[in-house]
Amino acid sequence: MDWNDLAAFVSVVRAGGFRDAARLGGVSASGLSEAVRRLESRLGVRLINRTTRSISPTEAGQRLLERLGPALREIEGALDVVNAFRDRPAGTLKLNVPASASRLVLPSIVPAFLNAYPDITLEVIVEDGFVDILAEGCDAGIRYDERLEKDMIAIPIGPRRQRMATAAAPSYLAGHALPEHPRDLLSHICLRGQFASGVIPPWEFEKKGEVVLVEPKGPLIVRLGAAADLAVDAAIAGLGVIHLFEEWLRPYLESGALVPVLKPWWQEFSGPYLYYPGRKHLPAPLRAFVDFIKRV
């Protein structure tokens, strides 16, 4: 059995298609397709259902993927031992992060890290939902403490305290009374966010130990992270009140494009964490990143 064919199958299923897998792996889509066909021929069973728009593993393919994943990780780990004999660690580091981290945390870290480790390629996948990083083929992830996977090692990354900010454009506030309590937002036009699961989370506020959750209404609902900038632009245009990370809104608050609303009620929470599986031998790129994060 050709291990390259097995690896091609895993990469195609994880990427969700031949083109994406080819782009991520720096190979040709036709080469991956031929490798999967060759593997199916040798095994005598179809592993992937193909359509003109998408691919999906068959039941046999899914079972094979579940067993191959850990085996391939062990092989990759064994080969990565060679990195210890290099002057500089090399390889690919694959991170799964929420949009807030890609915008507010990584920009201050990535340039310096890649300058310090020029032989490492950093691949960042942005997803805001709960993710099994091992199943997704990632080395590590970034999440907030309430969303950390169990049995993972977690280290702080980025700002240790953050706040959610509420704001509106001067043009909007000119025609609406300034809210004095979070419940006043129920009579305002608000721009809401939605998780990938379809859940629209309430807006949470806190002052002197009192926590208030409100579910305001409005004409615009956007996918949190992926389309948050659309809500920001709508708020700046005077469409309604927005509730988002303070760092995300800070440039507009400083320029006056947005005005703080209910600032004494802005809720503070702990910053994000880099998390990864606890194992004796970390891949060299991940070890380099962990050590770098601990130093900055």
Q: What is the pLDDT of residue 1?
A: 67
Domain holding 20: CATH number?
A: 1.10.10.10
Answer yes or no: are the C-beta atoms of 123 and 152 closer than 8 Å: no
Going by their DSSP bridges, the two strands 55-57 and 203-207 should be labelled as: unpaired
My answer on whether 147 and 182 are in the same domain is: no
Query: Domain of 111?
Result: 86-159+271-294
Dist. CA 191–CA 173, nearest whole Å: 14
Number of domains in the chain: 3
Dist. CA 168–CA 191, nearest whole Å: 10
Q: What is the pLDDT of residue 86?
A: 65
My answer on whether 154 and 282 are in the same domain is: yes
My answer on whether 166 and 154 are in the same domain is: no
My answer on whether 56 and 105 are in the same domain is: no
Q: What is the pLDDT of residue 90?
A: 87
Q: What is the pLDDT of residue 80?
A: 66
CA atoms within 13 A on the CB side of 36: 27
**78 lies in a domain?**
no
My answer on whether 227 and 237 are in the same domain is: yes
Q: What is the pLDDT of residue 201?
A: 92
Per-residue pLDDT of the chain (296 residues; tens, 9 = 90+): 678 898 889 889 888 888 888 887 778 889 999 999 999 999 999 999 987 777 889 999 999 988 887 787 777 777 767 766 666 888 899 999 999 999 999 999 999 999 999 999 999 998 887 777 876 778 899 998 766 666 788 999 999 899 999 999 999 999 999 999 999 999 999 999 998 788 899 999 999 999 999 999 999 999 988 789 999 999 999 999 999 999 999 999 999 999 999 999 999 999 999 999 876 678 889 999 999 999 88
My answer on whether 98 and 180 are in the same domain is: no
My answer on whether 155 and 282 are in the same domain is: yes
Q: Write down the pTM of the prediction.
A: 0.71
My answer on whether 55 and 105 are in the same domain is: no
My answer on whether 168 and 182 are in the same domain is: yes
My answer on whether 210 and 145 are in the same domain is: no
Task: Calculate the CA 240 to chain-centre distance.
Answer: 27
My answer on whether 277 and 254 are in the same domain is: no
**147 lies in a domain?**
yes
- Which of 37, 68, 99 is the endpoint of a domain? 68
